[in-house]
């Protein structure tokens, strides 16, 4: 169970890092030359090394005349996706905490 909690913690750290990146992208939506950044979740989940997530520049985003490629619709979708990921992870964490509490309670009554 401890290993599962560690992986869940790493997952939550990755979700948190993505939330910060998306917020930074939105804050720089009008900054000339700013390039959108994101986290490659698939590779991060495969790696799960506990280090900081690798930041990437997503390909295929249209670039404005000033060199900026932040698309607010794209960033809003990422925020919604990240919210779902966070909610799933916290539900899993709550389930693990519940199991630990039950084990402690059963140990006291035995």
Max intra-chain CA distance, the chain: 71
CA distance 97 to 92: 9
Distances (CA, A) of 32 to 24, 35, 67, 71: 14, 9, 6, 13
Neighbours of 108 (CB within 10 A): 7
Kindly give the confidence (pLDDT) of every residue in the chain, 110 residues in length, as a single tens digit, with 9 standing for 90 and above: 456 667 777 788 888 888 999 999 999 999 999 999 998 877 776 666 556 677 888 889 999 999 999 999 999 999 999 899 889 888 888 887 777 777 777 766 65
Kindly list the domain boundaries of the chain, sorted by start residue: 2-109
Assigned token pair, 3: 């290993």
**The pTM of the whole model exceeds 0.75:** no
């Amino acid at each position: 169970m401890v290993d599962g909690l560690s992986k869940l913690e790493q997952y939550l750290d990755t979700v948190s890092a993505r939330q910060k990146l998306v917020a930074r992208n939105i804050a720089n939506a009008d900054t000339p030359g700013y390039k959108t950044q994101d986290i490659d979740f698939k590779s991060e989940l495969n790696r799960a090394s506990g280090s900081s997530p690798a930041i990437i520049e997503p390909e295929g985003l249209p670039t404005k005349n000033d060199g900026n490629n932040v698309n607010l619709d794209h960033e809003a979708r990422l925020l919604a996706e990240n919210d779902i990921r966070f909610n799933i992870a916290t539900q899993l964490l709550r389930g693990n905490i519940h199991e630990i509490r039950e084990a402690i309670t059963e140990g006291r009554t035995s």
